[in-house]
């Protein structure tokens, strides 16, 4: 018997393979060998299905906990931040849907879940209560913004290959930076090697560390 979980799992797989454009009710019914009525009964409209797929993936990321029994509040934030980063990297359609849900439904499970999971650590970090929202928002904005940079872009992407090789891009960009006038762009020349060799996840965690360190000074 067709279940709600089967529908959602299949929808996520179709989104991963082809983006939002690949997920239609007709395509989903063909994949599952069922009728559209079963889809609407279990998950509702296509837009509701997209929201549910988003909630499912984000919910799994938010359930991530750091290893070890002696985890600190910073460990909790790093664990969930990296889980969200990896989820958006794996599910390239997710960044757009995530942004829509946060803007469109501020009391929905995605928005509330993310802010509660991150913001729930503010008190334990020693952040003054009056700064809890600012601290949590700074982290959430950084996490979603940094993770979304590598996501598939919607709309006009003329001249951009969304499936381009990362190493080739960085090599070409670093070569172009090296051609810049070193007197006019000393910073660009100083970091060109770091840009070419950097690890996205490690860079992301460095950003989290910088924000967490800044939050400690709000005490």
Most confident of 135-144, 154-163, 164-173: 135-144
One CATH from 3.30.1330.30, 1.10.357.10, 3.30.365.10, 3.90.1150.10 for 50-154+200-216: 1.10.357.10
Is the pLDDT higher at 200 or at 210? 210
- Select from 21, 133, 42 the least CA-distant residue to 34: 42
Q: What is the largest CA-CA distance in the chain?
A: 69
Nearest CA to 132 out of 151, 115, 144 is that of 115
The residue-averaged pLDDT of 124-152 equals 89
User: How many of the other CB atoms lie within 10 Å of CB of 217?
Assistant: 7
Fold match flag (1-44 vs 50-154+200-216): no
DSSP classification of residue 33? T
Residue boundaries of the structural domains of the chain: 1-44, 50-154+200-216
From CA 53, how far away is CA 40, in angstroms rounded? 14
> Which residue has tokens 């000074």?
217
Digit-coded pLDDT (tens) for 43-82: 999 999 999 999 999 999 999 999 877 899 999 999 999 9
pTM for the whole structure = 0.85
Architecture of the domain defined by 1-44: Orthogonal Bundle (1.10)
């Amino acid at each position: 018997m067709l279940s709600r979980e089967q529908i959602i799992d299949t929808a996520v797989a179709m989104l991963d393979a082809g983006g939002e454009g690949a997920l239609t009710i007709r395509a989903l019914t063909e994949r599952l060998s069922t009728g559209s009525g079963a889809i609407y009964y279990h998950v509702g409209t296509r837009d509701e299905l997209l929201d549910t797929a988003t909630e499912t993936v984000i919910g799994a990321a938010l359930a991530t906990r750091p290893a070890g029994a002696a985890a600190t509040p910073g460990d909790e934030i790093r664990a969930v931040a990296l889980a969200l980063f990896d989820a958006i990297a794996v599910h390239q359609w997710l960044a757009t849907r995530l942004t829509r849900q946060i803007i469109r439904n501020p009391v929905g499970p995605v928005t509330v879940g993310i802010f509660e999971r991150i913001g729930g650590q503010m008190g334990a970090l020693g952040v003054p209560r009056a700064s809890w929202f600012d601290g949590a928002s700074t982290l959430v904005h950084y996490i979603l913004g940094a993770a979304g940079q590598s996501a598939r872009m919607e709309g006009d992407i003329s001249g951009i290959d969304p499936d381009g090789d990362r190493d080739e891009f960085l090599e070409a960009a670093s070569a172009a930076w090296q051609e810049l006038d070193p007197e006019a762009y000393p910073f660009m020349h100083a970091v060109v090697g770091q840009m070419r060799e950097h690890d996205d996840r490690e860079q992301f965690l460095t950003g989290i560390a910088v924000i967490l360190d800044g939050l400690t000074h709000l005490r």
